[in-house]
Structure 1
Amino acid sequence: MSADFWAGYISGAAGILIGNPLDLVKTRLQAGNAAPNAEPVTAGTGPATATATLHPPWSFRQHFESAGTLVKGTTAPLLGYGALNAILFVTYNRTLTALHDSPELPASFAKVWCAGAAGGLASFVISAPTELVKCRAQVATDQATSSWTVARDVWRREGIRGLYYGGGITSVRDAFGYGWYFWTYEWSKQAVSSPTDTDRETAIKVLLCGGLAGVVTWASIFPLDVIKTRVQTQLLNAPSHELGEREALLHRETHGKRLSTLEVARKAYQAEGAGVFFRGLGICSIRAFVVNAVQWAVYEWMMRLLRQP
């Protein structure tokens, strides 16, 4: 495997370990189920309806039922996001090279954006099922529900097609978001870097540029991510005493019919206004800065390490 593959894999896994607690809060806020002990939505209200017992978004304690909640839903992204990040960076570097530019010091930011979008689109193969399993595990309050049980149940019920439910909106989100991700990182890095920088100054600037890239990326795609989360956490079947919560994902749909992406977006807007598409953006921005600062620092460090003779 190439150096950028392993550097991307390890940096992606590191980001998941650091950012999962804040990601859990973000997912629950987006899904409209901020309080795990909130009253369930009544039948027929659709996936976009918020529960009437929402806690303030700054009240974090209700999101963590136990210490295990801190790593809830981590297994799927830990395995998947490492591979996703590897594919992302390999595709980005190869695409930029094919566009006759240098991944080390690109001259055209337009080509950087296009290469980032290509990387995001390629990573959809892994990001779609990973996101689906992660989100469904995170919104579940039953401690018996894990990434493995969610993946197993989806596979048994719908097969490979079920794991890619919501894949269309996920691919659009990834392509658009990663275009800005690489663009912001390269633009800010070139803007603040100097040939006279010491190793310490370089490391600090990589952290700052990586964090900025994460914040800009999530700000640009957050409404798409809210819709994606709600699409993927729709209730597939009504809950039953025998099946438990893992079979009854977040919201009940009218007559058991799953809503399309546009229907989810429309109902969310009608029920909760435009603000619903930015719910959780604050906590997501904090997480994005921390996670992506670490990811870029690990990636750059691994690339230097693996390229040594």
Structure 2
Amino acid sequence: MSADFWSGYLSGAAGILIGNPLDLVKTRLQAGQAISPSQAGEQPSRSFRGHFDRAGTLVKGATAPILGYGALNAILFVTYNHSLELFGETPASPENLLKIWTAGAFGGLATFVVSAPTELIKCRAQVSTGRASSWSIARDIWRTAGVRGLYYGGGITSVRDAVGYGFYFWSYQLSKQSLSSPDDTDKDTALKILFCGGLAGVVTWASIFPLDVIKTRVQTQVVGTAATGGERQILLPQPSSAKLSTFEIARNAYHTEGAQVFFRGLGICSIRAFVVNAVQWAVYEYMMLRLLRN
């Protein structure tokens, strides 16, 4: 396969391994106490440390992303680079920022096939307070709703990804163009890649965070609780008659918790985004350099 495929795959897997603990906190803060209309108020608020109730929590929900986001990143970068070529830009050094944003949006849309089910499984695993694994959640969704169930919340996920990845590549290339200098040493270049990658992650999440909050709440809707040793588990979607639409969830969140609900978890997400995307871009650029040389 192409160099950008493997570079994207490895960088995506590396980012998940580093960022999963903070992503878990972000997801639980977004889901809040409004996971189900019938359960509002049942979940006590948690401190930061309270989200890590045992060692296994650090990697809770990481299985699906590690497998899925490697493939997602591979699809993303391959589509982005090919789109740039169609627009007449050189993938290694594109210049037109509008074309960069558009190519990034195309890349984001292309990831839908992997992103939607991966996000669904990850979010439900992360908000579950039981011992349900990513595999058991995926199996239960498949048994009850089939392939369609795995793409629950796919509409808002695809919009989020298209907009987010447009800004992702746009902000990375803009900052890279602004900071690059002919006199840069290899060390200077590496540090700038880390900084530009981290900055791109923060800009991306800031641009789509309200959409991500809504997406998380759409995908973590449940009917009730499944008792396992007295623990509450979140596994299955609501029946069609009880589901809330994306618009209804957004409206209810605003009416009950105010506008600030759409930015709950942005601080922890920004920290995670900077670290994860700095590493992702560094791994991607390094792997591209090595693979293209061979």
Q: Percent identity between the aligned chains?
A: 67
Whole-Å Cα distance in 2 between the matches of residues 294 and 255 of structure 1? 41
Q: What is the CA–CA distance in structure 2 between the aligned matches of 1:43 and 1:304, rounded to whole Å?
A: 48
1:117-156 equivalence runs, <5 A: 117-143=105-131, 145-156=132-143
Query: Which amino acid counterpart does residue 216 of structure 1 have in structure 2?
Result: V
Q: Tell me the equivalent position of 2:77.
A: 89
Which position in structure 2 is the counterpart of 1:168?
155
User: Which residue is equivalent to 2:27?
Assistant: 27
Deviation at 1:239, TM superposition (A): 2.5
1:12 and 1:141, CA in 2 relative to 1: closer, same or farther beyond 3 A? same
Indicate if the aligned counterparts of 2:220 and 2:234 stay in contact, CA closer than 8 A. Answer: no
Amino acid of the structure 1 residue aligned with 2:197 = G
The alpha-carbon deviation at position 181 of structure 1 amounts to 0.2
Q: Distance in 2 between matches of 1:178 and 1:241?
A: 39
1:194-238 deviation per Cα after TM superposition (whole angstroms, max 9, x unaligned): 121111110000000000000000000000000000000000x33
* 1:288 counterpart residue number: 273
Q: 1:239 aligns with which of 210, 225, 232?
A: 225
Whether 2:184 is the aligned partner of 1:193: answer no
When residues 256 and 194 of structure 1 are mapped into structure 2, their CA distance, relative to the original with a 3 A threshold, is: same
1:33-77 CA-to-partner distances (Å, cap 9, x unmatched) read 4xxxxxxx798547xx5667323xxx3210011111000000000
Look up the match of 2:286: 301
Aligned-pair distance for 1:254? 10
1:72-87 alignment, distance < 5 Å = 72-87=60-75
Structure 2: state its 5+ residue gaps. none
Gaps (5+ residues) in structure 1? 34-40
Q: Is the 8 A contact 1:189 1:206 kept in 2?
A: yes
Deviation of 1:107 after TM superposition, in Å, equals 1.9
Aligned residues, how many?
293
Check 1:44–1:75 CA distance in 2 against 1; reply closer, same or farther (3 A cut).
closer
Give the match's secondary structure for 2:93.
Answer: coil
1:267 is matched with which residue? 252
Given that residues 154 and 163 in structure 1 are in contact (C-alpha distance below 8 angstroms), is that contact kept between their aligned partners in structure 2? yes
3-state SS in 2 of match to 1:100 = coil
Deviations 1:152-179 (A, max 9, x none): 0000010000000000000000000000
Letter in 2 for 1:133: I
Distance 1:116 1:8 in 2: 14
Q: Name the SS for the 1:133 alignment partner.
A: helix
Q: Which runs of 4+ in 1 moved over 2 A?
A: 41-46, 49-53, 237-250, 253-256
Aligned-residue CA RMSD in angstroms?
2.1
- Deviation string 1:6-38 (CA, Å, 9 cap, x unpaired) is 0000000000000000000000000004xxxxx
TM-score for both structures, normalised by structure 2:
0.94
Give the alignment partner of residue 204 of structure 1, picking from 174, 178, 191: 191
**Conserved 8 A contact 2:107-2:165:** yes
2:61 partner SS: coil
Establish whether residue 54 from structure 1 lines up as the match of residue 45 from structure 2. yes
SS in 2 for 1:201: helix
Q: SS of 1:159's equivalent? A: helix
Q: Which stretch has the larger CA shift, 226-235 or 241-250?
A: 241-250
Preserved CA contact (<8 Å) 1:116 1:179? yes
Contact persistence 1:29–1:280 (CA under 8 A): yes
Question: Is it true that 1:8 corresponds to 2:23 in the alignment?
Answer: no
